[in-house]
Structure formats: C-alpha cells, structure tokens
Amino acid sequence: MSGAALRRQAELLDAVLAEAEAAPGAMVIFDLDDTLFSTARRHLRILREFADLVESGDPDAAALLRAIDHESLRYAVTDTAKDAGLRDALVKDLRDFWFARFFKNRYLLEDDVVPGAPAYCEEAVARGAAVVYMTGRDEGMREGTESALERHGFPRPGAARARLILKPRFDTPDMAFKAEVLARLKEEGAVAASFENEPAHVNLFRETFPAARHFLLETKHSGRPVSLHPDALRIRDFRR
Ligand SMILES: [Mg+2]
C-alpha cells in the first residue's frame, strides 16, 4: 500500500472516530468475516487437514493441496482447489469436508485479524461509539466468536458499548438477516458508519442509513456481480 493510499485510508477512518466523539452513542457496525477477521488461516488449516486425509490414497492430490498458500485462496474453497488442479471427485469431497469444519467454534480460533482492526474498534469505543458486531455467523458460533474477539483484544461484546448480533438460524440468508437487523437498529438510534466486505451488504447499509459513512473492505467477497454504491468508501484494512 502506497504512503498516499495509507494516508487517505487514515483520514477516512479518523473521520468516523471524530464523528463518534461528536455524537456519543452513535453506532458503528462491523461485519466479522473478512472485515475484522481474515478467514485465510481457517481455510488453509482445513485444506491441510484434508491433505492429511487423502495422503495415503492419493499423495499427488495431497501435495497439490499443501502447495496452496495465502495468495492462491479464492472466496470459495472449491474454486481454490480447482485452480490448484485437484480432480473433480476430490473437489466434491473437499467441499463436504470444508463445510463440516469452517463454521465450527474451534476453527474460528484459527483466524487472524485484519491489520489494525482491534485497536480501531477499541478506539471507537473509547471515543464514544457503540460498537455493533453484526455477522452472518449463527448463534451456534457464539462461543468461538466471543473467544476470538477476546483473544485478539477487541472490545468485549456484552460489556458497555459493544454487542454481538448473530443469526438465530444457520440457514437464514445473510442478506435477509442483515436487512431485518438494520431495520431494528434504525429504530434504536443513529448509525455513524458501517464496515463490510460484501458490496451487496454495503449497498444495503447505504440504503438504510444514507447519511452515514459506509466502508467496503477490499479483502475478498463472494464475487456476486453487484456494483458498489458510488458513495461507499474503500479501504484495505484498519491501519492508520
Ligand atoms: Mg464478511
């Protein structure tokens, strides 16, 4: 990231903090996966475990899987595996293997943070914001999510000025869930800003709270063809 880009990012992030200070109690909403947390290490761990599983029957496939690194991860694990040259039958098995693990509490602890995220959330709270973690993770993932937040030094949900909103049901589509929660938050009070990695969700935030600042994290997203609202602000991470 160039010095100029970093300065621009710092200005955008600082403006939210200044506004939090000017309007205490205003909400700042953060998505979790690929917004505050990078899911890369969780993906890589599952790929390594799958490599261990197929090693004895298919050492070549195991080698292909082990060669996958951070840079070659795609949003969908099946695309990552196809790019790596894994044959179709194994891609399907991998998909099931991945699905049985990716949403489990003990795997959530594998995630690293997006650079600067914990300090930024801490400062938002210190400057008067009400931090809302709103995620497509479901209630079954609460334990691992709370542990991961605590381990990395994010403001603890449940304490004053931070809360965690998870999906009551795993199978509710994220978009429908977020639309419903936003409608509720709108009744509660002012929103200063939101942070998301899915362009479609950023647009939903923008539609619900047109006066707030809405950020797209340029980490990775599901690739659905959506044009981002022109008012949305783009950042790479939370470094300032
Ligand atoms: Mg996300």
pLDDT tens profile 93-124: 999 999 999 999 999 999 999 999 999 999 99
User: What backbone phi and psi angles, to 5 degrees, belong to 218?
Assistant: -85, 65
Picking from 222, 221, 215, the residue whose alpha carbon sits closest to that of residue 8 is 215
Q: What gap in Å lies between CA 157 and CA 165, rounded to an integer?
A: 9
* pLDDT for res 232: 97
Q: What gap in Å lies between CA 146 and CA 43, rounded to an integer?
A: 20
- In angstroms, what is the span from residue 35 Cα to ligand 1's centroid? 6
Helix axes 174-188, 199-208, angle to 10 degrees: 30
- In angstroms, what is the span from residue 195 Cα to ligand 1's centroid? 9
- In angstroms, what is the span from residue 33 Cα to ligand 1's centroid? 4
Nearby residues for ligand 1 (ion, Cβ within 5 Å):
31, 33-34, 197
Instruction: Assess contact for 240 and 13: CB atoms under 8 A.
Output: yes
Q: How far, rounded to the nearest angstrom, does the alpha carbon of residue 193 sit from its chain's CA centroid?
A: 16
Residue with tokens 């950023």: 202
- In angstroms, what is the span from residue 11 Cα to ligand 1's centroid? 23
Tokens representing 234 are: 């783009």
- In angstroms, what is the span from residue 59 Cα to ligand 1's centroid? 34
Over residues 44-51, mean pLDDT: 97
| Per-residue pLDDT band at 129 (split at 50, 70, 90) | very high
Q: What gap in Å lies between CA 64 and CA 80, rounded to an integer?
A: 11
Instruction: Assess contact for 230 and 109: CB atoms under 8 A.
Output: no
pLDDT tens per residue across span 179-237: 999 999 999 999 999 999 999 999 999 999 999 999 999 987 877 778 999 999 999 99
In the chain, where does DSSP find H-type helix? Answer: 3-22, 40-54, 59-66, 77-84, 88-102, 105-108, 117-126, 142-151, 174-188, 199-208
- In angstroms, what is the span from residue 201 Cα to ligand 1's centroid? 9
Instruction: Assess contact for 14 and 7: CB atoms under 8 A.
Output: no
**How confident is the prediction for the chain on average, in pLDDT?**
95
- In angstroms, what is the span from residue 31 Cα to ligand 1's centroid? 6
**61 contact partners, CB below 8 Å, separation of at least 6:** 51, 54, 86, 87, 90
- In angstroms, what is the span from residue 61 Cα to ligand 1's centroid? 30
Look up the pTM and report it: 0.94
* pLDDT for res 221: 81
* pLDDT for res 57: 94
Q: What gap in Å lies between CA 117 and CA 30, rounded to an integer?
A: 10
* pLDDT for res 113: 97
Instruction: Assess contact for 134 and 27: CB atoms under 8 A.
Output: no
* pLDDT for res 33: 96
List residues bridging with 191 in a β-sheet: 27
